[in-house]
Amino acid sequence: MALDLKSYAAKVRVTDGVYGTQLYPEALGTVACKELLNAVNPAVVEAVARSYVEAGSDVILTNSLCANRFMLDSYGVADRVAELAEAAAAISTRAARGTDVKVFGSLGPTGKVVMMEEVSEERFSAAFAETAEALAWGRAEAIVLETFNELAEAEIALKAVRKACDLPVVVCMSFAYGPDKTMTMMGNKPADLAAMAEANGAAAVGANCGIGPQPYVRVAQLLREATDLPIWIKPNAGLPQVKAGETLFPMGPAEFALFVPKLIQAGANFIGGCCGSTPDHIRAIRKAVDEG
């Protein structure tokens, strides 16, 4: 039986932190992209997933954000989408074994722009369906469409995933533009995302990445005003800064956790971290949720 996200979100759930910045030291030394670690070094990926389980996550994702045909083609491994996505779900499932932690499959954008018409809708749909099917085979319990900037692509992805499998789908976009930083790069508002998500059968709606948790309090409010769907919020650990050629995220766990009560009050049902977040951030979020 498919997971009922609305019932599951009746209490606030803590999700995980990011995989990318946790895996980059390993990835940069051994493979072209972090998704290849699912095949080359699954143990190091599983260690990251398990670190979030141990930190108190109710939900962990999979190391598959870029596991679609278009993104992997830039690394010359487009033919390995199904292998890498299924492995990602299997790895997180192993990390969660023996616990009540749920595994949701991560699926990101293609890097192509729908409005440019360089790729047909059919090819977009096929790419998203391919990854979703593999994540389902790997025993993911839901699919999270995350880090989308273009509403049209998010809509194609949502429709494709819902056709490809019977898992509930969370659809998220990144909001970091406009006067109060609550618009996407393409000018979409939270209400636009909520309307699209409801019209196309999403099980939850939300925001990830961005510039930090403060503007996502308002994003969560705007989403809650627009929909009764569960709301998923995973902000970056602050605005990234480049120092000595290294990208750093300035917001530590304690400061990040200060926004948790505000996010809950705004209507968030799922709370975690995106770029720059660590198991320590998740421990702080867990503590804030439990104390709230």
pLDDT per residue as tens digits for the range 26-54? 666 778 889 999 999 999 999 999 999 99
In 3D space, the residue among 244, 241, 242, 240 whose CA is nearest the CA of residue 275 turns out to be 240
Length of the chain: 292
Q: Which residues pair with 107 in a beta bridge?
A: 145
**Nearest to residue 216, comparing CAs of 259, 171, 280?**
259
* Residue 178's CATH number: 3.20.20.330
Picking from 170, 228, 174, the residue whose alpha carbon sits closest to that of residue 200 is: 170
Q: The tokens of 260 are what?
A: 């948790």
Residue range 135-194, pLDDT digits in tens = 999 999 999 999 999 999 999 999 999 999 999 999 999 999 999 999 999 999 999 999
Q: Range of 254's domain?
A: 5-291
- pTM assigned to the model: 0.96
The number of folded domains in the chain is: 1
| Residue in this structure with the two tokens 């320590």, named with its chain if needed | 280
Residue-averaged pLDDT of the chain = 95
% of the chain exceeding 70 in pLDDT: 99
Q: pLDDT tier at 21 (50, 70, 90 boundaries)? A: confident
% the chain with pLDDT above 90? 90
240: alpha, beta or left? (left if phi > 0; alpha if psi -120 to 50): beta
Three-class SS state of 118 = coil
Segment 69-100, tens digit of pLDDT: 999 999 999 999 999 999 999 999 999 999 99
- Between CA 46 and CA 90 the distance in angstroms is 9
